[in-house]
Amino acid sequence: MIIFFVDQNHKNKTLSEILDIQKLKDVDKQIEAANGLPNECYISEDYLAYERDKIFCDKWTVVGVGSSIPNAGDAKPYNLLGIPLIIIRSKDMKIRVFHNVCSHRGFKLLDKPCNLKNVIRCPYHSWSYDFAGNLVATPHIGGLDIHQFDKFDKNKSNLKEVKTKVWMDIIFVNINSNEIDFNKYIKPLEQRWSKFINNDDHNLLVHSNDYGYFNLEVKCNWKFAIENYCESYHLPTIHPELNKVSNINDHYHIQGLPNRFAGQGSKKYEQPVKGNKKFNTFSNWEKSMLKNSEYIALFPNVMIGLHIDHFYVFWLEPLGMDKTKEHMQIYYVGDESANGEELKELRKENSKFWKNVMLEDVSAIEGMQDGRHSPVYNGGNFSPAMDQPTHQFHKWVANSLI
Ligand code: FES
Ligand SMILES: [Fe+2]
């Protein structure tokens, strides 16, 4: 397994030593006068170390989805730009995230996905933790066959748990425990989507086991995927086929306030169909909006797409300054649509459709990465009519950094 680290040497620089702060301030202007994020935000390793703290540790960040650890005891390691984590489903089916490090000598506890029976056992000296992170066994700590030691207080050496919340199967973590309460954080989006789905509908979402997942590795900074997702401006050039059915003019901007998400919606969504077969639909969907679908980037690193008959989570795993793994997870309404044999071909086609769209975007986002090495470009500008949601994301990043 290849592991990417943020070089610790890069940690000590202040933001003003990394980039021109005025350039960041110029992002948060009226769109006509605003500058995009400066080049360092896409190509500087010093910046990446800063961003890891200010964006990925300070905010609600996505590290995976619950359906990839469906059973009690399922556990997987996750590397957040060098920070080792464990994502585990405990016996009460709750998802928990811990720092993946033994409190004894600091051995990394879990190396690959597995199903654990009762404990997380450290391979080094076999200290063991239960699924709530409690240190429950310290073999030979007092000498051979003496497993307790008076002067050692086990309770002080439990695993360090990370603040975690699962919403629509998406696992959010707030490593630095300093972000607002998740329910408050997500409320503006839930209110926006209340015309489509309510809380009961969340329970109807079922991940498809056969054509419900693919991933893409792209050679660019994670932010390019978000900014590209926020706008429909590139539809005619990058997605000419899609533009024939859902034209650029059928789209509208989405700008969440307070500024936590942005994206676009379409008014021309057509349900996929094969013969007379279609996927089940959400029953509480506003009748006047049956053809609406919405594509929202929830900052920093997850893009979600909601349609009357399916939902997807397209989340980003940053692997380095110019390397990102995109994970696509697809959900349907109820088990029959998600896993029934009758709709298998339709699921296959739907997955292929999205994969083609995401593949078309790869050239766009990798092209922006290449361009960011130019010394004559330093953030560029925005179309006041077409780039508002992208500008909104830039503002969020800039304000999170300062
Ligand atoms: S480092 Fe884990 S038991 Fe020693
Ligand atoms: Fe696109």
The pLDDT tens digits of the residues spanning 363-398 come to 999 999 999 999 999 899 999 999 999 999 999 999
Last residue of a domain, one of 140, 165, 190: 165
Q: What is the pLDDT of residues 218-276, one digit of tens each?
A: 999 999 999 999 999 999 999 998 888 888 999 999 999 999 999 999 999 999 999 99
Average pLDDT over residues 277-286: 97
Kindly state whether residues 254 and 302 are assigned to the same domain.
yes
pLDDT at 2: 45
Q: What is the mean pLDDT of the chain?
A: 95
Tokens standing for 312? 């997807």
Report the atom number in ligand 1 closest to the C-alpha of 102.
2
Judged against a pLDDT cut of 50, whether residue 329 lies above it is answered with yes
Kindly state whether residues 86 and 151 are assigned to the same domain.
yes
Q: Is the CB of 175 under 6 A from ligand 1?
A: no
pLDDT at 244: 85
Does residue 23 sit within a domain?
no
Q: Is the CB of 122 under 6 A from ligand 1?
A: yes
> Relative to the alpha carbon of 137, which ligand is closest?
1
Q: b vs e for 107-146, b when ≥16 Cβ sit within 10 Å of the residue's Cβ?
A: ebbbeeeeebeebbbbeeeebbbbbbbebbbbeeeeeeee
Kindly state whether residues 354 and 246 are assigned to the same domain.
yes
Report the atom number in ligand 1 closest to the C-alpha of 106.
1
> Relative to the alpha carbon of 305, which ligand is closest?
2
Query: Rounded CA gap, 62 and 169, in Å?
Result: 11
**Percent of the chain's residues with pLDDT above 90:** 94
Q: What is the pLDDT of residues 72-101, one digit of tens each?
A: 999 999 999 999 999 999 999 999 999 999
Q: What is the pLDDT of residues 53-73, one digit of tens each?
A: 999 999 999 999 999 999 999
pLDDT at 243: 87
Q: Is the CB of 108 under 6 A from ligand 1?
A: no
Does residue 97 sit within a domain?
yes
> Relative to the alpha carbon of 141, which ligand is closest?
1
pLDDT at 241: 87
Cis-peptide, bond into residue 300, ω within 30° of zero:
yes
Does residue 15 sit within a domain?
no
Q: b vs e for 366-388, b when ≥16 Cβ sit within 10 Å of the residue's Cβ?
A: eebbeebeeeeebbeebeeeebb
pLDDT at 246: 83
Average pLDDT over residues 272-283: 95
Q: What is the pLDDT of residues 1-49, one digit of tens each?
A: 444 555 555 557 899 999 999 999 999 999 999 999 999 999 999 999 9
* CATH number of the structural domain spanning residue 380: 3.90.380.10
Cβ atoms of 264 and 252 within 8 Å: the answer is yes
Last residue of a domain, one of 135, 165, 195: 165
Query: How far, in Å, is the centroid of ligand 1 from the Cα of 92?
Result: 27
Residue nearest to atom 3 of ligand 1 (CA): 125
Judged against a pLDDT cut of 80, whether residue 299 lies above it is answered with yes
Kindly state whether residues 333 and 240 are assigned to the same domain.
yes
Query: How far, in Å, is the centroid of ligand 2 from the Cα of 164?
Result: 30
Does residue 358 sit within a domain?
yes
Kindly state whether residues 348 and 265 are assigned to the same domain.
yes
Query: How far, in Å, is the centroid of ligand 2 from the Cα of 353?
Result: 12
Last residue of a domain, one of 139, 165, 191: 165
Does residue 174 sit within a domain?
no
Kindly state whether residues 219 and 362 are assigned to the same domain.
yes
Average pLDDT over residues 175-195: 97
Query: How far, in Å, is the centroid of ligand 2 from the Cα of 68?
Result: 26
Judged against a pLDDT cut of 50, whether residue 344 lies above it is answered with yes
pLDDT at 9: 52
* Count of domains for the chain: 2
Give the total residue count for the chain. Answer: 402
Range of the domain at 97: 62-165
> Which residue of 102, 154, 160 sits with most ligand 1 atoms within 8 Å of its CB, as the best mutation to test the pocket?
102
Does residue 52 sit within a domain?
no
* CATH number of the structural domain spanning residue 132: 2.102.10.10
Q: Is the CB of 328 under 6 A from ligand 1?
A: no
> Relative to the alpha carbon of 127, which ligand is closest?
1
pLDDT at 205: 97
Kindly state whether residues 258 and 385 are assigned to the same domain.
yes
Does residue 244 sit within a domain?
yes
Query: How far, in Å, is the centroid of ligand 2 from the Cα of 232?
Result: 7
